[in-house]
Amino acid sequence: MTRWYQEKKKEYFYKEAKRTGYRSRSAFKLKQIQRKFKIINKADFVLDFGAAPGGWSQVTNEIVGENGKIIGIDLSYIKPIKGIQFIQDDLTKKSTILKIKKIVGENGVDVILSDMSPNISGNYSIDHANSIYLCKQSLNLADQILKKNGNFLCKLFMGEEFDDFFNIFKIRFKNVKLYSPPASRKSSSEIYLIGRFFKK
């Protein structure tokens, strides 16, 4: 057993996820973001990008209720959750985007969540650039299917490309915030960018 895995098992939020039945510790990140910013409402239609193993979809399902709708997308297989549609596909592919747009239809979605993370290379500059790329992909799709006054959340790694992306991001939303939830590891450089009230 590696030292990293041993430390992970000791973490409070990892233990809490196991205790409460959430599929990942990151479920608590979304719960903390939701508590502070209220980005998801009852009966919302929500897209969950980078959804595996399903922790964020579980939390979202609790919020939107039986009249809401959730579609989770990830490269990895996600074990089914009742009432949630999962798609195993690559969001960076045009064919996947077309598939999502067809499912969503003309009415659009209320919320887009992106907890996508690049494959970590160990080179921080590369990892940062790749995280910004994934956020850009999500934002590009938001431009096409997010409803007016909809909300958007994406995870990214801070770095030299952040300012340029932030300038692109902030003109699309009436309210923009950066937030690092307490459930994030202290050693992590990740941060969440929250856009509320999409201008369309």
Element spanning 166, H or E: helix 162-170
Element spanning 195, H or E: strand 190-198
Q: What single string gives the DSSP state of each residue in 125-150?
A: HHHHHHHHHHHHHHHHHHHHHEEEEE
SS3 199: coil
**Half-sphere exposure in the Cβ direction for 101 (13 Å, CA):** 14
CB neighbour list of residue 187: distance below 8 Å, 6 or more residues apart: none
Residue 10 is a catalytic residue: no
- 117/134 Cα distance (integer angstroms): 8
69: which strand partners?
Answer: 45
Total length of the chain: 200
| Catalytic residue chosen out of the listed positions 31, 155, 170, 174 | 155
Residues taking part in catalysis:
155
